[in-house]
Structure 1
Amino acid sequence: IWRESRAQMRRQAMCFRNELRPALQAEGIDLLTWDELSGLERQELRQFFSDRVFPVLTPLAVDPSHPFPYISGLSLNLAVVVRNPETGNEL
């Protein structure tokens, strides 16, 4: 699984770098890092997240005490591991 996943990630990165990003730039769409944004742009994005994104997030716990949740193939999902910044322990 790891070998195939790794190959897929490489293909995805190559497609993004060589095809998608140049096509976006040709249409006048630039992808910026947080540091490249002005203070006003950052504030607008924080407000957008608070108003439009955060309200529709549904946190799901995956640990030994919870069964693995149903994840619809028609939804956008993000998996994260939360760690204590002081100890490095997973929460």
Structure 2
Amino acid sequence: MKNDKEISIDAFTDNEKILIDQQVKALITKSGTTPGDKQLKEFTKEAKRLVMKARLAKEKATPVKVPRKPRAKNLAASEVNDFNWSASVNLGSRRR
């Protein structure tokens, strides 16, 4: 069964609310008739769905930035979990 819950207008930003109004006007002009209360509510519901769909697509397109781990050189001694002495000795011999 299809979930037809209406999205709350509070879930949208001010810019998105303007987009919803524009979508409603576009749907009204597309229908070509003066909508009644019930049809206006359906147009509003459809406009909210379209704007939310666009927002989710935009958020999905821009992935969340993952913070990089600091390099081992920059860590304090208490933050180092797995210290490899042989790698440290090899690194020290390369720098000479």
Give TM-score, length-normalised by structure 2. 0.28
When Rg is computed on C-alpha atoms for both structures, the one with the higher figure is 2
Between structures 1 and 2, the one with greater helix share: 2
Higher relative contact order (CA closer than 8 Å, sequence separation 6+) = 2
